[in-house]
Amino acid sequence: MVAAVVLVALTIVVFAGGLKGPAVTATIIDDAVVSWLVRLHAPGLVGTWRAMAALSSWWILNAVAYGLLLALLALRRFRHLIICIILTTLLVLCV
């Protein structure tokens, strides 16, 4: 949990000024890593990439969202449930 907060804070700091300064370096490094992964040819990687792509499909994301709501209800985390519903409603209205 702490690592996630640190990564989000670092991302905000790096990209706060737009694509200038350290954000350019981070983008170049990201592009280099992705290019390296694309050129990597090893047995079983095609299935791995397809599985990772399938995890980001709308079907899976919607199922996870409903699963989150059900889990929050089952665990009686009502404050978190209310915040989740408010954020979801705001996202739907803004998009």
- Domain contains 87: yes
Q: Measure the CA–CA gap between 73 and 51, rounded to whole angstroms.
A: 29
What is the chain's length?
95
Residue recorded with tokens 């899976």: 60
The per-residue pLDDT for range 43-85, each reduced to its tens digit, is: 888 888 888 888 888 888 889 889 999 999 998 989 999 998 8
Domain that holds residue 32: 2-40
Angle between helices 58-74 and 78-94 (to 10 degrees): 150
Q: Could you identify the residue written with the tokens 């983008």?
A: 27
Burial of 2 by CB count in 10 Å (0-12 exposed, 13-18 middle, 19+ buried)?
A: exposed
On whether residue 25 sits in a domain, the answer given is yes
Does 66 fall in a domain? yes
What was the pLDDT predicted at 53? 86
User: What is the model's pTM?
Assistant: 0.51
73 lies in a domain? yes
CA angle, 93 then 1 then 7, to 5°? 75
SS percent in the chain: helix, strand, coil, step 5: 80, 0, 20
So what's the pLDDT on residue 29? 92
Is 80 exceeded by the pLDDT of residue 95?
A: no
Answer yes or no: do 33 and 7 share one domain. yes
Q: For residue 49, is it within any domain?
A: no
33 and 63 inside one domain: no
Count of structural domains within the chain: 2
Q: Say if 65 falls within a structural domain.
A: yes
In this predicted structure, the answer to whether residue 32 has a pLDDT above a threshold of 80 is yes
